[in-house]
Chain A
């Protein structure tokens, strides 16, 4: 039987992780128009940073002597570190904080590196370059064992092991959703500010924006750095929640799921991401449950992908603007309203 509590924990935590990813995609693609098809690389950057650092830092703090290969022993030692964390919450939070900062900085640096092709390449070539870069990063992780355990993956200690049994899961939801809320608020605040307006101007008419004083190179660099740092934070939370990091988990499909969420919800509107992620997670979990009851003549896991492919096509064909379409966002809309004659009046509406 399905454990309803664990199902909700899973839905809540994954909603948070994908909301962070979608918010960063919305900032880069929806607002500035950079098709970041390498999103999974920055997500992986955060997860790989946790994979490479958390268990090492943990054993060092716990004073555990490491014997044997990293690749074969990391799962074992991460369990030992989890046991240590169960009685040492401060050390657990320290490991979390250090990996979080390292991951965000690493993500931002990768984002700045990625902004170089983003400045020089046209959209489609940029997309190809970023997909390939993401794959390179995954293949590096898969083949260089001392980094994150290669094909075996790496164990990640449980940073919430010190919480009482039963509340730990709620702790992961809270962690995930609070970072998601912060990411979304950053997106919303920027989107409804002069900064977001400049991004949209660049997206709509690059040359006109440059003529009106916008340094396009700088904007792309800033947005990719911020968006990539956000994606890396999503990777950190994902890694701790899953309890392990496996390089092959970070395939290009993850990027396209995020694209699906942003397009489905409505790119160019921050509210779109909230809805797009919710719809995706709901459908995905429903399908995962239905898999137990429906028998198909092929591997049932492909059915979900077929289904999402069809949804993406239908959205692009019949509602390309998404569920919640973009609209002009007045930065201080509340204070300016239209009168009956269509004139703008200050402080008419509440």
Chain B
């Protein structure tokens, strides 16, 4: 018995000028599963993440999350519903420390009211708890020694980990990860992927991942969608997809 999908896209279309980045893309992301998008460069994977995350509006089709139409919701509304993403090219808050970068992502909402901050000090207590939580995540990602470093001083790999840390701090129910292990050393990449699997098993987190490093990631994922030129050309378990002649052709052909 397959669960109802947590996220569904229905015939998504997105054009950039004459280029069809998404050409009728329909995928389903099942809850508590790791679903991965693969495909050659320019096949539309990141565009799909951008449309699901709210950074881009599609030209057609729908995005459904828990059966709610979220196609045109702004990113912060998606966050409220539990959808959080990371970026292929890391976007750290460059002038904030690593710790502060994580705190920004917190769901506690201490930062929404200027009046509350001016009129009481209640937030400080809660903030301490958040700092402790942030440290547990930093330790998990092995960057706790960098807590006081400005984010723009980090290496590319460390920025990737920071992105991951922020996403975890936000307690998502669906995490969209755009190349989470690109530029990360293999040992740490395996650690990150094992941790993703652990989060899936222990708290039922759902993942939609875009990643090129199939050698590392394929063994950890449950479902794979292969894209080519804006279309889904194959989907199924990793073994099924990787043995699909269409997928092999897309990767090896021109």
Q: A residues near B, CB below 8 A?
A: 186, 189-190, 193-195, 197-198, 200-201, 203-205, 207-216, 222, 226, 268, 326, 328-332, 335-336, 338, 341-344
Contacts and interface: CB of A to CB of B under 8 A. Distances in A.
Given A194-B110, A213-B79, A328 B55 contact: no
Contacts, number: 124
Interface in B104-135: 104-105, 107, 110-114, 117-118, 123-124, 127-128, 131, 135
B75 to A, nearest CB: 4
A332 B122 CA distance: 12
Contacts of A335: 128
Contacts of B43: none
Nearest to B101: A201
A194 B127 contact: yes
Contacts of A222: 114
B148 interface: yes
Q: Which of A198, A203, A226 gathers most chain B CB within 10 Å?
A: A198
Interface stretch (B27-35, B91-99, B191-199, B231-239): B91-99
Nearest to A335: B128
A117 to B, nearest CB: 19
Nearest to B105: A212
A213 B112 CA distance: 10
22 contacts: A186-B118, A193-B111, A195-B111, A197-B100, A200-B95, A201-B93, A204-B92, A204-B95, A205-B93, A205-B94, A207-B87, A209-B93, A210-B54, A210-B79, A211-B55, A211-B76, A211-B78, A212-B79, A212-B170, A213-B76, A330-B97, A344-B147
Nearest to A344: B147
A211 B166 CA distance: 11
B208 interface: no
Contacts of A336: 131
Contact of B76 (A194, A205, A215, A344): A215
A60 B55 CA distance: 57
Contact of A194 (B93, B99, B103): B103
A226 B113 CA distance: 12
B62 interface: no
B97 A328 contact: yes
B104 A201 contact: yes
B3 to A, nearest CB: 26
A212 B124 contact: no
B80 interface: yes
Contacts of B128: 332, 335
Interface in B126-160: 127-128, 131, 135, 144-145, 147-148, 150
Contact of A328 (B79, B100, B144): B100
A333 to B, nearest CB: 10
B53 interface: yes
Interface of B: 53-55, 74-76, 78-80, 84-85, 87, 91-97, 99-101, 103-105, 107, 110-114, 117-118, 123-124, 127-128, 131, 135, 144-145, 147-148, 150, 166, 170
Given A332-B128, A336-B131, A204 B94 contact: yes
A212 B113 CA distance: 16
A197 B87 CA distance: 20
Nearest to A204: B93
B101 to A, nearest CB: 8
Given A190-B118, A195-B111, A210-B74, A332 B127 contact: yes
Contacts of B166: 208, 212
Nearest to B170: A212
A197 B104 contact: yes
Nearest to B83: A211
A253 to B, nearest CB: 30
A200 B93 contact: yes
Given A194-B110, A198-B111, A201-B96, 8 more contacts: A211-B84, A214-B111, A216-B76, A326-B95, A330-B100, A332-B124, A335-B128, A344-B99
Contact of B107 (A213, A216, A268, A338): A213
Contacts of A212: 79, 84, 104-105, 166, 170
A208 B166 CA distance: 10
A210 B93 contact: no
A331 B128 CA distance: 10
Given A190-B117, A226-B114, A332-B131, A213 B80 contact: yes
Contacts of B95: 200, 203-204, 268, 326, 328
Nearest to A27: B114
A330 B99 CA distance: 9
B96 A204 contact: yes
Q: Which of A326, A330, A335, A343 gathers most chain B CB within 10 Å?
A: A330
Contacts of B124: 331-332
A209 B96 CA distance: 12
B143 to A, nearest CB: 11
A215 B73 CA distance: 12
A154 to B, nearest CB: 34
B175 to A, nearest CB: 11
Contacts of B79: 210-213
B96 A207 contact: no
A208 B144 contact: no
Contacts of A332: 124, 127-128, 131
Contacts of B55: 207, 211
Given A201-B104, A344-B147, A207 B118 contact: no
Contacts of B135: 344
Contacts of B117: 189-190, 193-195
